[in-house]
Structure 1
Amino acid sequence: MPLIAPRHPRQTLLFLALGVALGPGVAPANAEQATASAGPAAETTPHDHQPVDLHAVEVRSSPLPSTVDNLTRPVAVLTGEALDKVKASSIGETLGKVAGVQSSYFGPGVGRPIVRGFDGARVQVVSDGLGTGDVSTVSVDHAVSVEPFLADQIEVLKGPATLLYGSGAIGGAVNVIDGRIPEAATAEPLQGRAELRGGTVNDEKTGMVRVDGTSADGHLVFHFDGLHRETGDYDIPGYAESATLRAQEAAEHEEHGEHEEEGEEAYGTLPNSAVRTDAGAFGLSWVGDRGFIGASYSMFHTRYGVPGHSHEHGEEDHDHDPIAGDDDDHEEHEEEGPVRIDMDQRRSELRAGLDDAGVFSTLRLKAAHTEYTHTEYEGSEVGTVFNNTGDEARLEGVFKPWNGWNNAVGVQWGNRDFEAIGDEAFVPPSQSTDAGVFWIADRQFGPVKLELGARHDQNEIDVDNAVTAAPDRDFDTNSLSASMRWSITDDFSLSFGLDRAQRAPTAEELYSSGLHVATGSVEIGQPNLDVETANRAELGMHWHAGPVRLSASIYHVGFDDFIYQADTGIDDGGPVRVWTQDDAEFNGAEAEVNWTIADNSSGSWDLRVFGDVVRGELSGSGSRDIDVAVPHGDHDHDYTVELQRGGYLPRMAPSRLGGEINWARGGWRASLGAVRYADQDHVAANESSTPGYTLVDAHLAWHVDTSNGNAWEVFVDGSNLLDEEARVHTSFLKELAPLPGRGVAFGVRAFF
């Protein structure tokens, strides 16, 4: 089965929809009314393309209404033109230029956000407050089931967001708002947007359309969106394998008296890096004077290759001694085809809101049912299948103001039924149930705004005892938060934050036992892991004087029983990595400057400079021994491993310094930017360092409003213009798959 198998009916329907959207017969909306509304997503019209003051945008993540500038906790928001400029095929890449945020990388099909050095099970990606229902935290090769091109607004909560989203957000959260369930009538009876784009570095072809409308009586509001994307294997500046890995392989061949065959190394193009994605949704709401009720159904289907991966099979000698390294017991392997992923998700949602309900100013109910399947193909054969069925519900109530305080309470419940089927299913089936209750309050005391919050969660994990003898686990976690913003003058403010947040171990950290093909390693869980606790302190400042806006923050997070994956230095069918825990510390800083250099007859000129740094280290001293059992058929290979209690944590994001200059005049706008990623030589035991690199990009767009109220935009975007070899230190594929080389994307957007 080819990765990019054509599906003509679906493509035909999509491009027919695009044709209708771009046609002149659609009732247009007034382009001058396009503003980045701070209200609900349905009020933010889909043709919002004008420049937006992102600091004044309302943040939807918190039940208590507040703008970016008024929040006491660190947050970043992308919407409108700023979001259009950076949209990419993954949520991580889309947010890659936000200060304090980087992206993981497992080929172009997978990119999770890394917030201040935290990723995986510590950063939760939610869809307007509800979990996405995927299993992207189970494995680094699992994509997030969110399509950035269909988003209205993306919010990044930096620091613990456990008060809002539970223990899976101990490192931060990303809230994606797509407006698929309308909450208010649209500004016009029918409005929307469409986009067609292509790309040179990977032969990209993408089309998307979105339409929103309201009935004549103003009560029925509908939403429709659809997207289709195809890309081929992408171009790279040189070899797929790093110079370090090629030198190591050459030395091994020379040691064994072997010769490499010419032409077997990938050069110029990264094999098995093609992606195909289809996404779409339909939503319908009834909107009244005091509230709304609505539902939606959506699908997300993506197929992508895993670069640098192929499986090898053969007769395994279970009597082989991995310690002695018996050279007479070599295994005969037969290489199969490349590893490819086929991921499909279907999701049903219900949302309702009621205003002025007794003691509550607003009540909001959100519920979702998600069915998710992730199939790993080895050539044409099915290797492992991951199934996940999830249900989640959330009820939030905002009280009417009392004695100067704004208060909100909420309850949240979720259930996940997970199983992995196949010879390489390294995690046993499990059922997880989470229930939480939270309270948030804020009050203004003159120039000081204070926010307080608390949350309690109960987490239960029931594992299939027919597969493993490991016990079921249950956990109680508690989180507390206090933060304040002190407006010393109208232009200068300081913010302080203190948090105590807890996270329960995941099923993968507790019960993993076997070869994890995606990482090429043997992963061993520890069923006796305890709750980890993070204590955070942060100091931030904001200064706005005339054309200059400056924000900066420094933070410290001390972890008790931090859960991490340690490389044992043992190779037993792959590097053996064990989940374990110890105390750890994270220290970091980030800063951003925005300067309006000039606004005159030559146009508007703006400069943005940002930088971030984070260090994660184990805070103990000395060493400790742990027992590790690597499964081999009907018996285990047992080891005693010595782990150091100090040193750097693995796969930490490198320091960065970036900048861009933006210009706009009339309907034209352009920008030129660069980001320097520093060498990452602060590495853990048995981890290699990664050289730094600089990524240069440029953007050019021409926007025109037509006489009938429609708007068109033509754009050209250049990426990695220096064609530099860039390897992401946080990626397990860094030695096998560099980032794409020089590329140009181009296309047209229509707003109607």
Structure 2
Amino acid sequence: MYRVNTLALAVACAFSSAVSSAASAQATDSDREALEEVNVTVSPLAKPADAVAAPVSVLSGDELRKSAAATLGQTLNSQLGVANAAFGGGVGLPVIRGQSANRVKVLSDNLDVADASNTSSDHAASIEPLLANSIEILRGPAALRYGSGAIGGVVNVIDGRIPTRVPEATEGAVEMRHDTANNQDAGVFRLGGGAGNLAWYLDGVYRENGNTQIPGLAVLEHEEHEEHDHEAHAGEEHHEDEFNTDGFVGNTNARAKSGSAGLSWVTDRGFIGFSVNRLENNYGIPLGTHVHHEDEHHEEGGEQHALAEEHEEHGEEGVRIDLAQTRYDLKGEHAFNSEYWDKISFRLGHNDYAHVEIEDGEPGTRFTNKAWESRVEVTHDDGGEWRGAYGLQVSRKDFAAIGDEAFIRPSITDSLGAFTMKEREWGNWHLDLGARLETVSIDPQYGNDKDFTLVGLSSALQYFLKEHQHLSVSLTSAERAPVAEELFADGAHLAESRYIIGDENLDKENSLNLELGYHHHNQDATGWHATKVEANVFYNRIGDYIYAANTGLEDEESEFAIYGYQNRDAAFYGAEASVQFPLASGLSLTLFGDSVRASFDDRIAGESREVPRLPPLRYGFALGGDYANWNWQWRNTHATEQKRPGTFEESTDAYTRMDLTAQYNFKLAGNDAVVFANARNLLDEEIRNATSLLRDFAPEAGRSVEAGVRIHF
């Protein structure tokens, strides 16, 4: 069935292309200069998302405000090709086409967030989506510009911390929202102003929530596991250590606050600015994910729910993460008065990150990451055949885990990368070429250094059927160096309930990605000519793919399952499609779907060839209305059963998720204001994400409503 559905999705891509092609044949050509007003920063060459050969999605404006949530993964979960690797309510990391963690780079205004989210699935990204101006998602390899960690994609969160213009008057916005899913209250403010050449900016956010409400039991019990446990412990006294809860996920309450300040000097040729941000986030790891050996006297069965409630009433919070980060950024841009050179831009960021894993109120392992990154880019355009960019990127990360349960040895990682990107047009054709050379050196506190030389090459060819419609084919070769945790991990990680073993002899990954795409978006057209289509088919061959394999063994001391990092050749392939049809009376209908499959090349006795924790096939529709003062959207998404979870992993059931959003725009004391409401999971489905390591312990929230008000002044 899965193969049939995947084929159907690919056929839908081709069909949607034909429909859009026919519709656009009668449409008038749009002005490309108008599109330049919505340039994306993931391209240094000032290109709009609609003209970039690689599949790029931009979440901004009202769409971002409706989707914004406590975690980045939850915010982007409805985007094409993006899933959420949740770890309770406090953690949600984006999964792009089955890739996450060390293959998907999360950026803060084009610089690495440099936190610890890629070292473990329970570590939250140090990003506040509620403060974002826009979020750019690049699906597919982006290592050419952003380095080794972007071999699977990029999520770039754009904020306004460093002003690039001087406002004519003081401007800002305030927002308050409440979510019944976890009784969350959140408040956000932004303020900006300036005079002469000086511009300033302030923002802040505070959010606090209780436990996540769910439809049923938190911990999912598998019959086959129960039978296995009964046989394995025959003749022995066996005790259930897990806390199960009914109607909520225990220990998922959280509290976070963040604030930023920025200052810039702006001229007609460019700007230079500085900002500082402080983030504090305290969140719980769901009960049941970690084993308390001292609690072996706990009863089984129905008494577990009462024990879990008593556990929380007495302040025993299980495992919590207490995160604090201070980030400093410097950014500048200068336009040349030259016929060849266009402009030079530079970024410098320093991040002082730390979090402590707290068990039952007592501090445990402390993770720190003191990192800095700098990048300089120069673009040129002589008005002739070629235009392009040259770039240099330098970074250092000083990472440490200190404590009794520190499973990764401290290390310093240095990287240096240089790249060039070129493009030219002739007739209806557009060609993009690029190359990157990068060195990565990892120096552990004890043991031998690891050095890697990485080469990246990319090419993309587009054929424009019309100004607003193109076909594309791209071929990218990229390499990724193993990171410190993949090389040097060795120990039990309480929050994940895993014993993790690295391999110092890991080879670098090498990826060869082929992509075919079709894009149609005529924003100036009306009626059926305004149909918007995006369709992509991709094949990604990754040699020496690095992953943490579930060995099926158990560490005797911690009683955790043992996961070992290893190299294994793999292939990822799939399709994505989205078609938006304008209907009468301000209505529109969107059909969408995405699918990714991945398997290892070799066969190992007793093990599956399927790559673990991949998102299932998803498809659905969205019906919306856009009127003078208000708009709404009804979105229905069906995710199929994931029957190929990987070796020693559990499958997940299918589900259908129904969401409804609405907002009303009005004037309040002469200022623009909006009241919004988002109803999520209206069918109250039990949703367990196949991408989540925590899927058997913490399902997604049940039926909920989020409502709020936002005022611009």
TM-score range, shorter chain: 0.7 to 0.9
Q: Does 2:378 match 1:397?
A: yes
1:737 and 1:54 mapped to 2: Cα distance?
43
Residues 731-750 of structure 1 correspond to what in structure 2 (within 5 A)?
Answer: 731-750=692-711
Query: Which of 671, 675, 695 is the matching residue for 1:714?
Result: 675
Q: Which amino acid aligns with 2:318?
A: P
Query: Which of 599, 620, 623 is the matching residue for 2:602?
Result: 620
Residues 201-240 of structure 1 correspond to what in structure 2 (within 5 A)?
Answer: 201-215=181-195, 217=196, 219-240=197-218
Equivalent pair of 1:311/1:338 in contact (CA under 8 Å): no
2:333 and 2:90 mapped to 1: Cα distance?
35
* Identity percentage of aligned residues: 38
Q: Partner residue of 2:302?
A: none
Equivalent pair of 2:291/2:497 in contact (CA under 8 Å): no
Shift of 1:542: 2.1
Q: Partner residue of 1:325?
A: none
2:47 and 2:513 mapped to 1: Cα distance?
22
Shift of 1:260: 8.2
1:295 and 1:432 mapped to 2: Cα distance?
25
Residues 261-410 of structure 1 correspond to what in structure 2 (within 5 A)?
Answer: 265-308=244-287, 309-313=289-293, 337-356=317-336, 358=338, 359-401=340-382, 403-410=384-391
Residues 37-48 of structure 1 correspond to what in structure 2 (within 5 A)?
Answer: none
Equivalent pair of 2:341/2:382 in contact (CA under 8 Å): no
Q: Which amino acid aligns with 2:624?
A: N
Residues 561-600 of structure 1 correspond to what in structure 2 (within 5 A)?
Answer: 561-572=544-555, 573-599=559-585
Q: Partner residue of 1:79?
A: 60
Q: Which amino acid aligns with 2:505?
A: N
Shift of 1:705: 3.1
Shift of 1:336: 7.5
Q: Does 2:405 match 1:424?
A: yes
Q: Partner residue of 1:24?
A: none
Q: Does 2:619 match 1:657?
A: yes
Q: 1:219-266 deviations in whole A, cap 9, x for unaligned?
A: 111110000000001211000111427972897499569798999631
2:114 and 2:664 mapped to 1: Cα distance?
38
Query: Which of 478, 484, 502 is the matching residue for 2:479?
Result: 502
User: SS of 1:546's equivalent?
Assistant: helix
Equivalent pair of 1:542/1:551 in contact (CA under 8 Å): yes
Q: Partner residue of 1:730?
A: 691
Equivalent pair of 2:645/2:690 in contact (CA under 8 Å): no
Query: Which of 677, 690, 699 is the matching residue for 2:639?
Result: 677
Q: Which amino acid aligns with 1:179?
A: G
2:482 and 2:467 mapped to 1: Cα distance?
44
Shift of 1:315: 13
Q: 1:576-616 deviations in whole A, cap 9, x for unaligned?
A: 111000111001100001111113xxxx1111221100011
User: SS of 2:121's equivalent?
Assistant: coil
Equivalent pair of 2:623/2:634 in contact (CA under 8 Å): yes
Shift of 1:57: 2.5
Q: 1:411-430 deviations in whole A, cap 9, x for unaligned?
A: 01000001101111000000
The range that moved more, 303-312 or 99-108, is: 303-312
Give the CA RMSD over aligned residues: 2.5
Q: Partner residue of 1:607?
A: 589
Change (3 A) 1:264 1:360: closer
User: SS of 2:495's equivalent?
Assistant: coil
User: SS of 1:439's equivalent?
Assistant: strand
Query: Which of 143, 147, 150 is the matching residue for 1:162?
Result: 143
Q: Partner residue of 2:19?
A: none
Q: Which amino acid aligns with 1:368?
A: G
1:366 and 1:547 mapped to 2: Cα distance?
38
User: SS of 1:555's equivalent?
Assistant: strand
User: SS of 1:648's equivalent?
Assistant: coil
User: SS of 1:85's equivalent?
Assistant: helix
Equivalent pair of 1:439/1:453 in contact (CA under 8 Å): yes
Equivalent pair of 1:430/1:464 in contact (CA under 8 Å): yes
Change (3 A) 1:116 1:250: closer
Q: Which amino acid aligns with 1:220?
A: L
Q: Which amino acid aligns with 2:103?
A: R
Shift of 1:200: 1.4
The range that moved more, 538-547 or 429-438, is: 538-547
Query: Which of 494, 506, 510 is the matching residue for 1:533?
Result: 510
Change (3 A) 1:263 1:131: closer
Q: Partner residue of 2:72?
A: 91
Shift of 1:352: 1.2
Change (3 A) 1:506 1:496: same
The range that moved more, 117-126 or 83-92, is: 83-92
User: SS of 2:222's equivalent?
Assistant: helix
1:513 and 1:250 mapped to 2: Cα distance?
27
Q: Which amino acid aligns with 2:176?
A: L
Change (3 A) 1:78 1:649: same
Residues 391-540 of structure 1 correspond to what in structure 2 (within 5 A)?
Answer: 391-401=372-382, 403-465=384-446, 470-490=447-467, 492-540=469-517
User: SS of 1:83's equivalent?
Assistant: helix
Q: 1:388-445 deviations in whole A, cap 9, x for unaligned?
A: 1001111111113253211101101000001101111000000000110010111111
User: SS of 2:49's equivalent?
Assistant: coil
Q: Which amino acid aligns with 1:575?
A: A
Equivalent pair of 1:57/1:77 in contact (CA under 8 Å): no
Q: Which amino acid aligns with 2:663?
A: A
The range that moved more, 541-550 or 480-489, is: 541-550
Change (3 A) 1:706 1:228: closer
Equivalent pair of 1:310/1:378 in contact (CA under 8 Å): no
Residues 48-197 of structure 1 correspond to what in structure 2 (within 5 A)?
Answer: 57-186=38-167, 188-197=168-177
2:546 and 2:531 mapped to 1: Cα distance?
41
Equivalent pair of 1:311/1:337 in contact (CA under 8 Å): no
Q: Does 2:229 match 1:248?
A: no
Equivalent pair of 1:235/1:740 in contact (CA under 8 Å): yes
Q: Which amino acid aligns with 2:590?
A: R
The range that moved more, 237-246 or 651-660, is: 237-246
2:35 and 2:425 mapped to 1: Cα distance?
22
Change (3 A) 1:439 1:688: same
Q: Partner residue of 2:9?
A: none
2:463 and 2:514 mapped to 1: Cα distance?
16
1:256 and 1:743 mapped to 2: Cα distance?
46
1:117 and 1:105 mapped to 2: Cα distance?
14
TM-score (norm 1): 0.83
Shift of 1:666: 2.2
Q: Partner residue of 1:702?
A: 664
Q: Which amino acid aligns with 1:540?
A: G
Q: 1:697-737 deviations in whole A, cap 9, x for unaligned?
A: 111211113573x1111111111111111111111111111
Equivalent pair of 1:208/1:227 in contact (CA under 8 Å): yes
Change (3 A) 1:548 1:63: same
The range that moved more, 539-548 or 284-293, is: 539-548
Segments of structure 2 that go 5 or more residues without pairing to the other structure are 1-31, 297-314, 522-527
